[in-house]
Amino acid sequence: MLATILVIALVVLLFLVLSSIRVVQQYERGVVFTLGYLMGAKGPGLFWVVPFFSSMKKVDLRIATHTVPAQEVITRDNVTVKVTAVLYFYVVNPEDAVTKVVNFGQATTQIGQTTLRNVLGQSDLDELLSQRKKINQELQAIIDEHTERWGVKVTAVEVKDIELPATMQRAMAKQAEAEREKRAKIIHAEGELQASTQLAQAAGIIGSQPSALQLRYLQTLTEIAVEKNSTIVFPLPMDLVQPLLSALPKNEARAEVPVEQPRETAYSGGYQVQQKQ
């Protein structure tokens, strides 16, 4: 009978000893409490916790990611948007993370929601869409200031998704289309200006050299002759036509023959007109 009691006692004692052994991983720390008092954080390694008097709470030191649920935010220019963000944080002080907040992960997510609404409510829609990096840095600084006393370090806050109303999407699409058309017209006008400048310079150079003008004229005729199905109107150069035009009035003056006026011969009873043959 006594032997049975000893065996049972040894089994219970062994069970208590084994159940009090704690293994803390490399990425964890074990915060130990004895009779309600904080004894500090231990780890990594194998530790024995006094049963019934001590307890250990493990804290993960790895970077955690929490998604902030979609928040309806009214921007400074009165546009309602839905914004989703992601928080990246990790524990730098396990003792504070256990003793100064009930659930540091949930608390960090909640402070991220309120900060997200406050910061985005002070920004315009254009700023929210174009300066997202600046807004992320501002969110990270504000949230990290609140979580620092909990032993939690916020490394980054990223605005994940921005959902715009359908009417605003159509308005922005029209604005973007108008902007592209404006840029296209500006580029076209600049091209026309550069082309006209180059053409004016080329015309000045060609006009100063008659031989260059003749060569350009012959080159144009060669290019036109390539098309077999085209009707070509062949213009004569002005330097070839000009001598003919200057000589034409002289020849016409020489070709003029004076016409003698008709004479009148009187007859009895009337007049007879006689022309010189």
Question: If we measure between CA atoms, which residue out of 126, 123, 135 comes closest to residue 179?
Answer: 126
The whole-number pLDDT of residue 153 equals 94
Where b means 16+ CB within 10 Å and e means fewer, 193-214 reads eeeeeeeeeeeeebeeeeeebe
Average pLDDT, the chain: 80
The whole-number pLDDT of residue 167 equals 78
Decide: 154 and 143 in contact? Cβ < 8 Å.
Answer: yes
pLDDT tens digits for range 62-101: 999 999 888 888 888 888 889 999 999 999 999 999 999 9
DSSP state of 100: S
Which residue has better confidence, 50 or 242?
A: 50
The whole-number pLDDT of residue 268 equals 40
The whole-number pLDDT of residue 187 equals 92
The full set of domains in the chain, from first to last, is 2-60 (no CATH), 64-168 (3.30.479.30)
CA distance 89 to 106: 12
Greatest Cα pair distance, the chain, in angstroms, is 193
pLDDT tens digits for range 156-215: 999 988 888 777 778 777 877 888 888 899 998 988 888 888 888 877 777 776 666 667
Question: If we measure between CA atoms, which residue out of 121, 114, 134 comes closest to residue 75?
Answer: 121
Question: Nearest 5°: CA angle at 139, between 133 and 140?
Answer: 90
Amino acid, single-letter form, for residue 18 = L
Decide: 104 and 97 in contact? Cβ < 8 Å.
Answer: yes
| pTM score of the predicted model | 0.61
DSSP state of 116: H
Decide: 121 and 80 in contact? Cβ < 8 Å.
Answer: no
The whole-number pLDDT of residue 275 equals 41
The whole-number pLDDT of residue 271 equals 41
- Write the CB contacts of 44 (distance below 8 Å, at least 6 apart in sequence): 24, 25, 26, 27, 28, 29
Q: What is the average per-residue pLDDT within 118-145? A: 89
Q: Counting every residue, how long is the chain?
A: 277
Where residue 264 falls among pLDDT bands split at 50, 70, 90?
very low
How many CB atoms neighbour CB 97 within 10 A? Answer: 26
pLDDT at 59 over 90: yes
The whole-number pLDDT of residue 235 equals 62
The whole-number pLDDT of residue 259 equals 47
